[in-house]
Structure 1
Amino acid sequence: MITILALGAALAYGVADFLGGTVTRYSSTLKALFWCVPAGLAVLAASALLTGRTPTSASLAWGFAAGIAGGTGLLAFYRALARGPMSVVAPVSALASALLPIAVGVARGERLDATVLTGVLICLVAIALVSMEKSDGPSERSRGVLDSGPLMAGVSGVCFGLFFVLVKAAGTDGGLWPLVAARAGNLAVVALALAVVLARGGAPGARVSGRRLIGLALLSGALDASANVLYYLAVNSGLLSLAAVLTSLYPAITVLLARIAYSERLRSVQRVGLALAATGVTLVTVG
């Protein structure tokens, strides 16, 4: 069951990222997120109300902390893309987000049998390979080491990994309310970032307008929220390390959708990554 739920989360995250990326082609990251995040919040709030569970202060606190971590990771990731080539940024972020939950899980005493462990290791390699893309051109050079692309990519990955860990820590006592709190944390980070950009006189990009773009943004937010629910169910039904690694395969879905929708050619390294992902998932499933 954990395998099905985690792979379902990867599928939903991958489609959500693809749709969100489509919106940012015509607008900006912050303006797209300002549509996506509230849409996800509405979906999660409605779902939490339907479950009839009562939120607890502890679960809400863990959830909000997870949302702050996830929102910060997203902003750090896009900052990294402005400072370094995607071929470096994406794999570093993806690997960091998967390795942190594994480390936490092992520290808590989680143990995987040989077949599943082999599958997890293969999946880690697949995540790195499938995330590798060519740089669109010379990247902007930062003035300091603390703002370098690879370092910011690592920060984003650690933040995403913290999201995975903190969602697990929220437990199930509060039903889906920890995810509502997490989405509120996302919204707080996005709102703060947008306020900072506006205060500095920056132009956060074109307005998201038109039925198509608004629809894609709302659908992206709804799917991302659904992915949160699937991961939440997965991580609370099994091992943190396994749920996080399988969920982190979502870049493969985004890459495949880009290939179908925009006829983007898959690089040889990405083809190898997809093959390894299938192999790793198979080993995890049979194990």
Structure 2
Amino acid sequence: MTAVILATACAAVYGTADFLGGLATRRAQVFAVVVLSQAAGLVLALALLPVLPGTPTLATLTWGAASGISGALAVLLFYRALATGVMSVVAPITATVSAVLPVLFGLAVGERPSPVALGGVVLALLAVLLVSRSSSEETSSGGYRSVLASVAAGAGFGGFFILLAQVPEGGGIWPLIGARVASVAAIGLLALAAGRTLRPAPGALTFILGAGILDMVANVLFMLAQQRGMLSLVGVLVSLYPASTLLLARQVLGERLNTVQVVGVGFTLGAVALIASG
């Protein structure tokens, strides 16, 4: 029960962080948003060392760094998709893909989900097809690119969950410190290579810092949850985060979906719920 509570809280915090990150990318370049938000998360992780002490072994830092690179690339793609697409479509697609991967990984290592969970995987694939359908004015190449970026981001987030779950016990907050150091370095180098500025646009810094801090809080909750429960369960519960993103997008931005997308979003959330219940 503790793992379920932690994972559910993690989902709520992730969704809020993604909403703030999406708002930030509509005001600033995505590289600046990702690097600065990840740096803010690193500062918080260092501040949490006295609360979550551990031993920084090579395995702990290596798995953490690998998960950090996967997560950073996912955030980069996800924020770009949020900036160019509809927030209440991008978030569920990303969540569905990130929910399916831990289940597939569990199957590969010997876990056997119930028929209900497998039914959720099938429903998730159908949901991606439905939620990707757009009205004629949204079927531009930009709309399709945001869908593809959402799928790739989901794969990156799923990889983050899987890789972080491989960290040996006793690492404390060190895996997340390793993850953040690697992610800031990797995305920072990409930004330099692409000639992109890391200076935030006016009015974006508050959203950037909020997204980074909340994202680290969510990462801590996920790490604690997966230490207390099965990855195939925790991973899909965490992937319920679009619920809070959708609520904020609807209330703050007034986003509306067409009928097919509404059905797709419903199937997406239903799929995640089925996978979790299995």
Q: Same fold (TM over 0.5)?
A: yes
3-state SS, counterpart of residue 54 of structure 2: coil
Take 1:216 and 1:88, find their aligned partners in 2: how far apart are those partners?
A: 21
Match for 1:107: what amino acid?
A
The equivalent residue for 1:168 is 165
| 1:177 maps to which of 174, 177, 199 | 174
Residue pair 1:68, 1:189 contacting (<8 A) in 2 also: yes
The equivalent residue for 1:66 is 67
Take 1:86 and 1:260, find their aligned partners in 2: how far apart are those partners?
A: 12
Match for 2:209: what amino acid?
L
Residue pair 1:90, 1:131 contacting (<8 A) in 2 also: no
Q: Give per-residue Cα distances to partners, 1:53-84, cap 9 Å, x unaligned.
A: 22222111100010011112233446678999
Once the two structures are superposed, the pairs formed by residues 129-168 of structure 1 within 5 Å of their partners are 132=132, 134=134, 136=138, 138-139=140-141, 153-168=150-165
| 1:244 maps to which of 220, 225, 235 | 235
Take 2:251 and 2:224, find their aligned partners in 1: how far apart are those partners?
A: 30
Once the two structures are superposed, the pairs formed by residues 160-239 of structure 1 within 5 Å of their partners are 160-198=157-195, 204=197, 207-210=200-203, 213-239=204-230
Residue pair 1:20, 1:216 contacting (<8 A) in 2 also: yes
Take 1:215 and 1:221, find their aligned partners in 2: how far apart are those partners?
A: 10
Residue pair 2:96, 2:268 contacting (<8 A) in 1 also: no
CA 1:137 to 1:215, structure 2 compared with 1: closer, same or farther past 3 Å? same
Residue 191 (structure 1) shift: 0.3
Take 1:166 and 1:176, find their aligned partners in 2: how far apart are those partners?
A: 15
Is 1:262 the equivalent of 2:263? no
Take 2:154 and 2:123, find their aligned partners in 1: how far apart are those partners?
A: 16
Identity %: 39
Match for 2:111: what amino acid?
E
Q: Give per-residue Cα distances to partners, 1:29-53, cap 9 Å, x unaligned.
A: 1112232111111111211332232
Match for 2:38: what amino acid?
V
Match for 1:75: what amino acid?
L
Once the two structures are superposed, the pairs formed by residues 77-88 of structure 1 within 5 Å of their partners are 77=78
Match for 2:222: what amino acid?
Y
The equivalent residue for 2:27 is 26
Q: Give per-residue Cα distances to partners, 1:183-224, cap 9 Å, x unaligned.
A: 1122122201210121xxxx55973334xx322221111110
The equivalent residue for 1:47 is 48
Take 1:220 and 1:67, find their aligned partners in 2: how far apart are those partners?
A: 16
Q: Give per-residue Cα distances to partners, 1:65-104, cap 9 Å, x unaligned.
A: 1001111223344667899998997665443322221111
The equivalent residue for 1:3 is 4
Q: Give per-residue Cα distances to partners, 1:113-137, cap 9 Å, x unaligned.
A: 456x378548846974896584756
Q: Give per-residue Cα distances to partners, 1:1-30, cap 9 Å, x unaligned.
A: 222222211111110010111112211211
Take 2:177 and 2:234, find their aligned partners in 1: how far apart are those partners?
A: 20
TM-score, normalised by the number of residues in structure 2: 0.81
The equivalent residue for 2:102 is 101
CA 1:119 to 1:183, structure 2 compared with 1: closer, same or farther past 3 Å? farther
Take 1:152 and 1:282, find their aligned partners in 2: how far apart are those partners?
A: 25
Structure 1 regions of 5+ residues with no counterpart? 143-147
CA 1:63 to 1:197, structure 2 compared with 1: closer, same or farther past 3 Å? same
CA 1:52 to 1:83, structure 2 compared with 1: closer, same or farther past 3 Å? closer
Residue 227 (structure 1) shift: 0.8
TM-score, normalised by the number of residues in structure 1: 0.78
The equivalent residue for 1:35 is 36
CA-atom RMSD, angstroms? 3.7
